[in-house]
Chain A
Amino acid sequence: MAAAAEQSSQQASAARAWHEVVLQTLKRNDIRLVPYVPDRVLTTLIKNIHADPFFTTFPTAREEEAVGIVSGAWMGGMRGAVLMQTSGFATLANVLASLAIPYQIPLIMFVSERGTLGEFNYGQSLVCRTMRPLLDSLAMEHHTATRLDEFEFIVDRSIKQAIATQAPVALILSPLLTGGKVFDK
């Protein structure tokens, strides 16, 4: 029975794209507020979140601003998550160290990873290398999602852990999961 349920769950997740897993897992965890700074890889996810009246979603001018917004919303009783790209994450050291971590706010971040596995812009590959050292230097929880079959587990458990422990989490979406962005002339 358990094996059958597991198999059918694997088939169900295999039938879904990674961005559908994100959208459905956000919903299941009552995460309604999704400010973002866009990224090519996130295009379909952003479009689908806009199309779903469950969500309040909008672009912000900077990633830091989006972190401020979801932090305020959390304190007001509304759950949120921020979508961004690697280079945007690199702007967040100060707000993580001065707001999210010391005030114990369960900041949930989805970071579309650029700068690796086929990057064509040297600056992107350099800034990408700052991401995990920054996360590690602040002892922040982070996971790099590379496989669709374990993606829902990572996202769902990470959201629940962030909320239960009142600590931020970064979910890094590897090109192995999303396909990434490739040079198109």
Chain B
Amino acid sequence: MSPTNTNTKVMNRFDVTSRLVAKLKNEEAVIGGIGNTNFDLWAAGHRPQNFYMLGSMGLAFPIALGVALAQPKRRVFALEGDGSLLMQMGCLSTIAALRPANLCMIVMDNGLYQITGAQPTPAAAVSDIVAIAIGCGISNSAWAADEQDFERLVIESLSASGPTLIGVRIDDKPGVGATRRDPVQIRERFMLGLGVRQQL
């Protein structure tokens, strides 16, 4: 395998997502990337501060960056698949340049386009996403060695002084739930959850 993740355990997306959600006590925003990534965020239990993407593959980190810039006092998490990140890798340089301390990016890496039939990504056997993030200038990037290490990295990110990226090697299982595909309601509820809107 690639150089920086030789000792990492293969985890499960739904389990890791549930562990993240369990650590969130301060109305942190969470952006779920397309497909299985936001299905498992949905399945982990809806929160008013969750945003679920129904398209625009690769934009979980840019959307989260926008939320982080708009609300610098709120911690913002983004969950993205490795295939999605490959679509928009330039955003890592943008985020490194802006250094939003309240942004934590989590990459669920199984080397697969799981949802389209588990075809390997071009990066699968050759590229190291954490090394790429470090190369882009996000120095606070690491692979989670196991579930406990993941939880430790999440807690550390809550007081980080720059953006954090956590790589998680995951298995090839599909998502557990399925997000209700109602974009207007998803957006409106998210804005209510962030205190930007009030109920009519």
Label chain B's interface by main secondary structure.
Answer: helix
Say yes or no: is B66 at the interface (Cβ < 8 Å to chain A): yes
Say yes or no: is B63 at the interface (Cβ < 8 Å to chain A): yes
Report yes or no: B183 in contact with A103, Cβ–Cβ below 8 A.
yes
Chain A 58-77 interface 0/1 with B at a Cβ cutoff of 8 Å (1 = within): 11111011111111111111
Number of interface residues of A (CB under 8 A): 33
Say yes or no: is A56 at the interface (Cβ < 8 Å to chain B): yes
Report yes or no: A75 in contact with B67, Cβ–Cβ below 8 A.
yes
Kindly identify which residue among A61, A74, A75, A95 contacts B90, using a CB–CB cutoff of 8 Å: A61
| Given A102-B184, A105-B187, A68 contacting B67 (CB threshold 8 A) | no
Say yes or no: is A98 at the interface (Cβ < 8 Å to chain B): yes
| Given A75-B191, A76-B196, A103-B187, A62 contacting B90 (CB threshold 8 A) | yes
Report yes or no: A65 in contact with B91, Cβ–Cβ below 8 A.
yes
| Given A65-B88, A69-B65, A76-B196, A95 contacting B56 (CB threshold 8 A) | yes
Top 9 A-B residue pairs of the complex, sorted by shortest distance between their CB atoms: A61-B90, A72-B66, A98-B55, A76-B70, A68-B62, A78-B70, A68-B59, A73-B66, A72-B63
By a beta-carbon cutoff of 8 Å, the part of chain B in contact with chain A is 29, 31, 51, 53-59, 61-71, 74, 88, 90-91, 93-94, 97-98, 183-184, 186-187, 190-191, 194-196
By a beta-carbon cutoff of 8 Å, the part of chain A in contact with chain B is 33, 35, 56, 58-62, 64-78, 80, 94-95, 97-99, 102-105
**24 residue pairs bridging A and B, Cβ less than 8 Å apart:** A33-B66, A35-B94, A60-B90, A61-B88, A61-B93, A64-B58, A65-B62, A65-B90, A68-B63, A68-B88, A68-B91, A70-B66, A72-B65, A73-B69, A76-B68, A76-B71, A76-B194, A76-B196, A77-B191, A80-B66, A95-B56, A98-B56, A103-B184, A104-B183
